[in-house]
Structure formats: structure tokens, C-alpha cells
């Protein structure tokens, strides 16, 4: 992974998530600060570079406010176990950071003594995710599932084919042009730092970089992000209502969800007249793929276990509400159960 490719991927992940409701985290000295490598987060052992650091649009009541740190990796092969294991160590280190001074310790020895006995800063619970441009190995997926580490893969989905090609095009030009490399890195560092500002593709005079920004904006417009109860993120593409396999009826008591007989990885979410296509997350798909003899019954179980409640982040430029809460229709599930084939 070169510096250009790595920064392009970081910016892509940052802008895609911010464009759909996540909010950037700014410097908060001395806990979050900007170093030579970028934004740094204090840990119990040492500070850590945060490729992408965000907070959700809303928080869970009666709990520490949460933040999401995304480690972005774009190698030439799927991510293996060591990277995901490092993410677990990173999560443990930043969540166990405390500020304890000599003065605090002395004051604890004498309860009546005036002075600070604990740090009054706001605490956060950090979740660490790993994003990969080239997917994940089975060992990495299994480890991530065991330790609840979100994996964001941009390798399989056709939704990201164009942006992957644009990243590779900028990378290839950078390999042959040192001046271009410096210009791109300078721009990317500034754009990542000023994460709450949009960049106009027309203001960029390098054709390959302009194409990257245009495709990123295109993705932001046509996609929504879905959040499942277990924290899994889905990237959903808005579909036209007349798509052939969406001829089934809509349900007034909630949404429905279907999988395509042509491609079991591809599923469709329907909420009355609105339709979204998405690819089943890798960890769910792999489990389903091993149970081909019970694929219909397992598909129904997957719908009930994972898709009963979905939060959709449409983005600040979407028509209507930027956030939508969906529940899987009870009547749809009952009907699907009655119509299960004998295979």
C-alpha cells in the first residue's frame, strides 16, 4: 500500500460515512490531537493514528457516548488475521486510557483534602472497524466475528467497481510522476483535515483525481447506509420501483426483504414504494453458503435474526428525513414462513 493509495482510500471511507450521517471528530487536546501522521488518539500504552475518526449522528441513552475509528487497508490481497488482531489491541488500548496524576493520587490518600481526585473529562467508548479495498481472509472474518470488530469490505460489491478503478488510476499516475504525487498527497491531507467541507471536483485540474472525486460524489448521492442491531453496516443502492423481481406486494406494517435466485449474495429491501439493493455482508453470506440444503429456511432465519430492525442513513442531501427507522413486517415474515418450499 503506497502513501497515495492509502490516503485516497482513507478519504473515500471518510467522505462516504460523513456523507450519510456520521460526524467528524475534531482535535480535543490532549486526548485527540493532530500529529505528523494525522489525527492521534491517546491510548493506555501510547497514542495511535486514527485513519478515520467519527461519531454517530445519535447516541445510546444511559451509556458512554461512542466513537468509531476505522483502520483503512488497501493491499493487493485480502486482509489476514494479524491486521484484525491489531485492531482488537488498538480498541483495548484506547478504551483503557486514563488520566491519573501524582496530585490526584495524593488527594485520594486524604479524602478531606481539597483538590482533584479524579479526571472530569468526558469519557468515550471507542469501536474500531477495519476497512479493506481487497476483502478479508476467512481467519480474519472468524476472529472479527468473535470479538465484534466491524469489517467494511469494498472488494466484492459491484457498487464500488468504478471507485476502485479510479483509485488505481491515481495510484498508477503517482508511480510515474513525483510532482503529481506531492500535489495529490498535499490535497488529500488538507481534505482529510477539513473533513466537514465538500471538495468541488471541477476545482481540480488533474483528470484522474477529478474522476475519483466525481465517482465519490456519485456514490454519496445514490447510496444509503443501513445499520443493523448488531452494528453491521450495509451499503444500499436505491433502485427503480419497476425492477423485475420487485413485483411482490408492499406491507403497511413494515418493510420486506428478499434475495435474488440469480445471485444469492444480492438482496433487496423494500419499504412500500422505495427499494434498495445490497450485498449480504461477508460473514452472514459465508454462514448461509455452508447450509445449502436448508437455504430457504436459513434465509428466513437470517431475515429474522439480522434484519428485524434497520436504521437507514440517507445523507444530508437526501429528500425527506436524513435518518429512517425500519422494522421488518410481521405479516411479511408470517407469509414467508407459510410459503417455505420443502427444500
What is the per-residue pLDDT across 238-296, written as a single tens digit (0 to 9) for each? 887 655 555 566 788 889 988 876 677 888 898 877 888 888 887 777 777 765 557 77
Query: Residue 21: phi, psi to the nearest 5?
Result: 115, -20
pLDDT over 60 (residue 339): yes
- What's the pLDDT score for residue 24? 92
Average pLDDT over the chain reads 86
Cell of 276: 434498495
Q: What's the CA gap between 253 and 268, in Å, rounded?
A: 18
Shared-domain flag, residues 158 and 102: yes
Q: Check which CATH number belongs to the domain holding 128 and give it.
A: 3.40.1350.10
Shared-domain flag, residues 163 and 56: yes
Q: Could you tell me if 314 and 238 are in contact, meaning their C-beta atoms sit under 8 angstroms apart? A: no
Query: 118: pLDDT confidence band, cut at 50, 70 and 90?
Result: low
Shared-domain flag, residues 70 and 185: yes
Q: Could you tell me if 4 and 184 are in contact, meaning their C-beta atoms sit under 8 angstroms apart? A: yes
pLDDT digits (tens, 9 = 90+) for 206-224: 899 999 999 999 998 889 9
Number of domains making up the chain: 2
Shared-domain flag, residues 209 and 154: yes
Domain of residue 281 covers 229-338
Task: Provide the β-strand partners of residue 129.
Answer: 70
Query: What are the Cα distances from residue 72, in Å, to 49, 88, 91, 225?
Result: 11, 14, 15, 18
Query: What are the Cα distances from residue 192, in Å, to 71, 104, 138, 196?
Result: 14, 37, 31, 9
Position 158 in a domain? yes
- What's the pLDDT score for residue 300? 85
Percent of the chain whose predicted confidence (pLDDT) is above 70: 91
Percent of the chain whose predicted confidence (pLDDT) is above 90: 45
Query: 342: pLDDT confidence band, cut at 50, 70 and 90?
Result: low
Position 343 in a domain? no
Shared-domain flag, residues 65 and 9: yes
Shared-domain flag, residues 99 and 27: yes
pLDDT over 80 (residue 329): yes
Q: Could you tell me if 52 and 69 are in contact, meaning their C-beta atoms sit under 8 angstroms apart? A: yes
What is the mean predicted confidence (pLDDT) over 57-73?
89
Position 253 in a domain? yes
Shared-domain flag, residues 213 and 306: no
Shared-domain flag, residues 216 and 263: no
Residue 4 or 284, more confident: 4
- What's the pLDDT score for residue 152? 92
Position 168 in a domain? yes
Shared-domain flag, residues 73 and 210: yes
Cell of 126: 471507542
Shared-domain flag, residues 207 and 279: no
Shared-domain flag, residues 247 and 210: no
Shared-domain flag, residues 14 and 39: yes
Helices (H), ranges, 194-278: 207-222
Domain end (from 220, 247, 280): 220
Q: Could you tell me if 27 and 34 are in contact, meaning their C-beta atoms sit under 8 angstroms apart? A: yes
Amino acid at each position: 500500500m503506497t502513501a497515495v493509495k492509502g490516503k485516497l482510500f482513507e478519504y473515500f471511507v471518510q467522505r462516504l460515512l460523513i456523507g450519510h450521517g456520521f460526524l467528524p471528530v475534531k482535535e480535543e487536546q490532549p486526548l485527540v490531537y493532530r500529529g505528523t501522521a494525522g489525527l492521534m488518539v491517546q491510548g493506555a500504552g501510547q497514542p495511535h493514528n486514527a485513519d478515520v475518526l467519527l461519531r454517530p449522528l445519535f447516541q445510546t441513552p444511559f451509556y458512554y457516548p461512542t466513537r468509531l475509528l476505522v483502520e483503512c487497508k488497501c493491499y493487493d490481497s485480502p486482509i489476514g488475521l494479524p491486521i484484525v488482531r491489531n485492531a482488537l489491541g488498538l480498541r483495548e488500548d484506547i478504551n483503557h486510557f486514563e488520566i491519573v496524576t501524582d496530585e490526584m493520587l495524593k488527594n485520594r490518600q486524604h479524602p478531606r483534602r481539597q483538590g482533584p481526585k479524579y479526571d472530569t473529562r468526558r469519557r468515550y467508548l471507542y469501536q474500531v472497524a477495519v476497512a479493506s479495498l481487497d476483502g478479508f481472509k476467512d481467519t480474519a472474518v472468524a476472529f472479527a466475528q468473535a470479538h465484534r470488530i466491524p469489517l467494511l469490505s469494498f472488494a466484492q460489491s459491484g457498487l464500488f467497481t468504478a471507485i476502485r478503478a479510479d483509485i488505481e488510476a491515481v495510484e498508477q499516475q503517482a508511480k510515474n510522476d513525483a510532482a503529481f504525487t506531492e500535489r495529490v498527497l498535499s490535497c488529500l491531507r488538507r481534505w482529510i483535515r477539513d473533513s466537514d467541507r465538500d471538495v468541488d471536483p471541477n476545482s481540480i485540474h488533474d483528470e484522474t483525481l477529478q474522476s475519483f472525486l466525481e465517482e465519490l460524489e456519485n456514490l454519496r448521492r445514490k447510496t444509503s447506509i443501513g445499520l443493523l442491531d448488531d452494528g453491521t453496516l450495509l451499503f444500499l443502492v436505491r433502485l427503480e420501483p419497476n425492477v423485475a423481481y420487485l413485483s411482490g406486494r408492499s406491507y403497511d406494517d413494515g418493510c420486506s426483504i428478499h434475495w435474488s435466485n440469480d445471485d444469492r449474495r444480492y438482496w433487496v429491501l423494500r419499504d412500500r414504494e422505495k427499494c434498495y439493493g445490497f450485498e449480504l455482508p461477508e460473514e452472514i453470506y459465508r454462514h448461509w453458503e455452508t447450509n445449502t440444503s436448508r437455504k430457504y429456511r436459513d434465509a428466513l432465519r437470517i431475515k429474522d435474526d439480522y434484519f428485524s430492525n434497520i436504521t437507514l442513513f440517507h445523507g444530508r442531501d437526501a429528500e425527506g428525513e436524513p435518518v429512517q427507522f425500519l422494522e421488518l413486517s410481521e405479516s411479511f415474515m408470517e407469509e414467508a414462513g407459510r410459503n417455505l418450499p420443502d427444500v
